Chains A and B, each alone.
Chain A
Amino acid sequence: MDHILALKSEIIKAIGQTCTMVSISVAAAVMIGMPIGILLFLTAPGHLRSNRPVYRVASYAVNLVRSFPFLILLVALIPFSRMIVGTAIGPLAASVSLSVAAIPFYARLVEQSLREVPKGVIEAAVASGASMKHIVWGVLLSEARPGLVSGLTVTVISFISYSAAAGTVGGGGIGDLAIRYGYQRFDTEVMVACIVILVVIVQLVQWVGSFTASRLDKRK
């Protein structure tokens, strides 16, 4: 126990790093991934702005990025990270790769939740003469709200776990701490402590996510 307390500042720093990486990548997922998800939905065959070439390209790009094992993506994007944040190491550099992975991840989840919106409801909006922008905001995003939040919860939790790999590029974070102390130095105590922290964080995120989603769901 004393041993863990001695590492207190390092653990707190690691939690901060995890939070930084997850917040940045999830923000990118929402700001860029969500519009891509909407694009995928609208351009899919038989949908509102059906456009086969656009859908094909967007869908292919999403699949391409998603096929990479994350560790490989992380290393492959080192030059890109250097270009964006000026450095190839540290939590910020890792956030670039995490964002690149999170964007298509959430885009697919957004596309899926939009597909759950009943076609008739969209049709009623079209029949009322609403503009595309109004349909996207007022019908699609509003009706898919619970699904979008559940998808976001899944994304946050997945990227807490992905961020553990960020240690490879000196990204730090609580997962990296567990790997460095527990796996590389056989320091079981620190590893267990890190895992307990991760379990608590994940439970908390899931609880908040599920609660919010159910509050937003008025379908009963």
Chain B
Amino acid sequence: MITFKEVSKRYKTGRQWVDAVKPTSLHIEKGHIQGIIGFSGAGKSTLLRMANLLEQPTAGEVYIDGQELTGLSTGELREARRSIGMIFQHYNLLSNETCAANVEFVLKAAKLPSRERKKRVEECLEIVGLAEKARQYPAQLSGGQKQRVAIARALANNPKVLLCDEPTSALDPVTTLSILEFLEKINREFQVTIMLVTHEIQVAKRLCSRVAVMENGAITEQLDMSLPAVKPATPLGQFLFDTEGEGFRGSHPGLKIGDY
């Protein structure tokens, strides 16, 4: 469903060239929930943002459902983006618009007729359990509720793919769990393929069918979470996957903490 073929991202900060993402390939099957885990600066958000070309790759190709995004014209790309939903760490809702208007925005972008828009807005807010908040403004909602409105917005155009950029990193553990349950439900009920970036191992463990560990702009290993025992090979993978909390207690000779 999502394929990255030797994509890389290189940019200049001041006088130095930075390789945010080194040539990387990744294939995500339809219906899977692919996690990308790593610490800040690992390039995981950049990789995610290349999936809908918010970030233009320096080289390589991106395919969504067989369509090569990297070769599309501006108009075609806009069209393709309508079937790719996205949610963000800081929700990125329109603050001067109501929740309903926030969801309606993307339906307008897809040029849906007014009457169908109203109906779809209601449906989407219903899915995330916020139908009664339709006329409220984002500032009147809690963090978890804002993220749910963002999920409703991302779902409105029946996307094939949902991109999640640290969706729970600004939320407390209980709210995090409720958001993960919504994402799980969306994946199950609407067959939406999810690519999720996080630095929280609990999030990856709870939600993902596959987890890619990313370090210094490269995927160092890909773990299959459906196996009874997940055995990471890299020091970073082992650190992350150590039984709950052990990661902070044990010593990790292979992991160069000073690098982070």
Contacts and interface: CB of A to CB of B under 8 A. Distances in A.
A83 B140 CA distance: 54
A99 to B, nearest CB: 29
A179 to B, nearest CB: 42
B227 interface: no
A74 to B, nearest CB: 38
A140 to B, nearest CB: 11
A160 to B, nearest CB: 28
Most buried by B among A125, A134, A218: A218
A127 B86 contact: yes
B78 A130 contact: yes
Contacts of B96: 142-143, 145-146, 216-219
For the residues of A in contact with B, the DSSP-based class is helix
B108 A138 contact: yes
Interface string B241-257: 00000000000000000
A156 B90 CA distance: 36
Contacts of A139: 94, 105
12 contacts: A120-B90, A127-B81, A129-B109, A131-B78, A139-B94, A139-B105, A146-B96, A218-B97, A218-B139, A219-B139, A220-B139, A220-B140
Given A134-B109, A220-B137, 20 more contacts: A120-B88, A120-B92, A121-B92, A124-B86, A124-B153, A126-B81, A127-B81, A127-B84, A128-B81, A128-B105, A129-B77, A129-B157, A130-B108, A131-B109, A134-B108, A138-B105, A139-B94, A142-B97, A143-B95, A218-B97
- 5 A-B pairs with the lowest CB-CB distances in the bound complex, closest first: A129-B81, A130-B109, A124-B92, A120-B92, A129-B82
